């Protein structure tokens, strides 16, 4: 069978066209990925430095059983270092609840004048107390309650000069194998304040990085969570990244949590925990299996105060 020269030319041109189209598509995907990543990093800095972001956290006061007075005066159980009323109110720890009484006229609860109430802690709708530039929330950690104090004019916020990141690197955007646990089990997650969280672990993500097989176990941070939450540490924690841990959120695997599948772990989105910015946060620490013997030089680096 005789094949004409122009047929070879046509095939060569078609093949070259396909290669060029594939290369263009790959460049477009990489450009979009990088653009999305940089936008996410900008939004993260904005959230941290918002008037109620982590950079405003200036205090964490553990409540004692009984009455805990709070305000600017020195005779309060919790003295607030801010231009607020001498006596803003009383937080009474009674049984497994916290109750607000004797609120000052200048104290707001959920943006309305405060009155005697049982305080809602944590959860989707906590009671938010405000006075001047302060925002106060009662949080529940283990069997203890604490008053979290934020100040929108905290120097950590007003002097914020940005975050530090590794350059975007698609090598650390990894497709991992999802291995579900049937049934899921609970993991004891230690925290930086010495308490322990019991959180569900639905499975394990397995991938290969630089020739090494790595496994990471995520938790579900709260009921109804829509993303996996990875708490991990790698060998860069000794040099360029925050020593205690970094966090990574990832979308659920392609076939759900209870079936084998695949998921994307973009370590370029590794972020520091709140404890990297303030000594008053109550961050979780990585379980033993998430303390990695490999380096992940990607994502957020150590924060310079």
Closest among 275, 213, 280 to 246, alpha carbons compared: 275
Cβ proximity of 224 and 234 under 8 Å: no
* Dihedral, CA of residue 272, residue 277, residue 279 and residue 280, to nearest 10: -90
pLDDT for residue 124? 79
What share of the chain has pLDDT > 90, as a percent? 83
Cβ proximity of 88 and 104 under 8 Å: yes
Residue found under tokens 């109110």: 89
Question: Rounded to the nearest 5°, which phi and psi values hold at 42?
Answer: -65, -45
0.75 exceeded by pTM: yes
* Average pLDDT score over residue span 54-82: 96
Q: What does the alpha-carbon distance between residue 132 and residue 151 come to, in Å, rounded to a whole number?
A: 9
Q: What does the alpha-carbon distance between residue 76 and residue 147 come to, in Å, rounded to a whole number?
A: 14
Q: Which two tokens stand for residue 302?
A: 């150590």
Domains of the chain in sequence order: 54-158 (2.60.200.20), 163-290 (no CATH)
pLDDT for residue 165? 97
Query: Does the structure show a pLDDT above 90 at 283?
Result: yes
* Average pLDDT score over residue span 193-203: 92
Query: Does the structure show a pLDDT above 60 at 211?
Result: yes
Q: What does the alpha-carbon distance between residue 236 and residue 69 come to, in Å, rounded to a whole number?
A: 44
Which DSSP category does 152 fall into?
A: T
pLDDT for residue 30? 84
pLDDT for residue 23? 47
Of the ranges 4-8, 43-47, 204-208, 244-248, which one carries the lowest mean pLDDT score? 4-8
């Amino acid at each position: 069978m005789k094949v004409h020269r122009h047929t070879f030319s046509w095939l060569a041109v078609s093949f070259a066209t396909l290669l060029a189209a594939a290369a263009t598509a790959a460049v477009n995907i990489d450009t979009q990925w990088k653009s999305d990543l940089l936008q996410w990093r900008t939004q993260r800095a904005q959230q941290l430095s918002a008037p109620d972001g982590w950079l405003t956290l200036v205090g964490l006061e553990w409540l004692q059983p009984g009455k805990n007075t709070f305000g600017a005066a020195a005779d309060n159980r919790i003295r607030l270092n801010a231009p607020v009323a001498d006596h803003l109110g009383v937080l009474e720890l009674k049984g497994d609840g916290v109750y607000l009484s004797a609120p000052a006229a200048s104290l707001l609860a959920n943006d309305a004048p405060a009155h005697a109430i049982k305080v809602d802690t944590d959860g989707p709708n906590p009671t938010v107390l405000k006075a001047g530039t302060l925002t106060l929330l009662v949080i529940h950690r283990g069997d203890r309650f604490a008053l979290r104090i934020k100040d929108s004019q905290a120097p950590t916020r007003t002097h914020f000069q940005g975050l530090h990141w590794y350059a975007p690197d698609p090598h650390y955007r990894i497709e991992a194998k999802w291995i579900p646990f049937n049934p899921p089990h609970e993991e004891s997650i230690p925290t930086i304040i010495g308490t322990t969280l019991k959180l569900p672990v639905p499975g394990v993500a397995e991938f290969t990085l630089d020739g090494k097989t790595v496994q990471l176990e995520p938790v579900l941070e709260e009921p109804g969570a829509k993303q996996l939450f990875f708490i991990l540490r790698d060998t860069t924690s000794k040099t360029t990244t925050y020593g205690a841990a970094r966090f990574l959120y990832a979308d659920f695997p392609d076939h759900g949590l209870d079936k084998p599948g695949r998921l994307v772990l973009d370590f370029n989105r590794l972020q520091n925990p709140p404890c990297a910015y303030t000594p008053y946060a109550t961050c979780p620490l990585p379980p033993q299996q998430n303390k990695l013997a490999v380096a992940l030089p990607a994502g957020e680096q150590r924060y310079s105060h």
